[in-house]
């Protein structure tokens, strides 16, 4: 080894010299923190939602772990999910369950390489306040003192319990 030259995001290693000329030169990427984007949650229901993220830049090497953090207070993420592997750029998602009805949740995507963890910006969603009818369909008419007769189709379980 005769020299190491750093140029931007790369370093070059020169091998032995013959008459002042390098006989072997290798170019290596210097790893950096990855770039991860938090995308909007989808399929938000009363007790579940799907979190979505995107690895926009791996930082020069594959991601070895990716996932999400979430909680009910902005900036606080007591819950998390990760998966191990070797991941390049692209989208990923995870369905979270056992959520509370009508509750705001805050979340962010995250990705890890040898430099450390990178985090997307925080996003939020609010779960649906009632559960949908399940395994049956209900419909009919009801009287309201305020607005008169109203029609309905599929009552939530929270109304049936009253």
DSSP letter at 154 equals: S
Q: What is the pLDDT of residue 129?
A: 86
The SS3 call for residue 150 is strand
Q: Largest alpha-carbon pair distance within the chain?
A: 100
The answer to whether residue 138 scores a pLDDT higher than 70 is no
**pLDDT tens sequence across 51-92:** 999 999 999 999 999 999 999 999 999 999 999 999 999 999
The answer to whether residue 162 scores a pLDDT higher than 90 is no
Q: Average model confidence (pLDDT) for the chain?
A: 81
Q: What is the pLDDT of residue 145?
A: 73
- Indicate the pTM of the whole model: 0.69
Q: CA-CA distance, 124 to 122, in Å (whole number)? A: 7
- Tokens 């379980």, residue located: 157
- Judged on CB neighbours under 10 Å (0-12, 13-18, 19+), 60 is middle
Q: Using alpha carbons only, give the angle 124, 127, 131 rounded to the nearest 5 degrees.
A: 170
User: Helix count (H) and strand count (E) of the chain?
Assistant: 1, 15
Q: Are 104 and 72 in contact (CB under 8 A)?
A: yes
Cα separation of the two ends of the chain: 79
Percentage of the chain modeled with pLDDT above 90: 57
């Amino acid at each position: 080894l005769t020299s190491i030259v750093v140029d931007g995001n790369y370093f070059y290693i020169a091998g032995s010299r013959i008459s002042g000329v390098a006989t072997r030169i290798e170019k290596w990427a210097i790893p950096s923190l990855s770039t991860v984007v938090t995308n909007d949650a989808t399929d938000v229901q009363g007790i579940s939602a799907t979190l979505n993220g995107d690895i926009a830049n791996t930082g020069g090497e594959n991601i070895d772990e990716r996932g999400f953090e979430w909680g009910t207070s902005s900036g606080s993420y007591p819950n998390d999910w990760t998966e191990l592997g070797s991941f390049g750029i692209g989208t990923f998602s995870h369905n979270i369950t056992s959520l509370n009805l009508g509750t705001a949740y805050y979340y962010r995507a995250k990705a890890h390489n040898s430099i450390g963890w990178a985090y997307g910006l925080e996003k939020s969603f609010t779960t649906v306040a009632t559960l949908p009818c399940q395994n049956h369909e209900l419909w009919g008419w009801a009287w309201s003192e305020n607005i008169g007769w109203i029609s309905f189709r599929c009552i939530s379980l929270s109304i049936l319990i009253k």
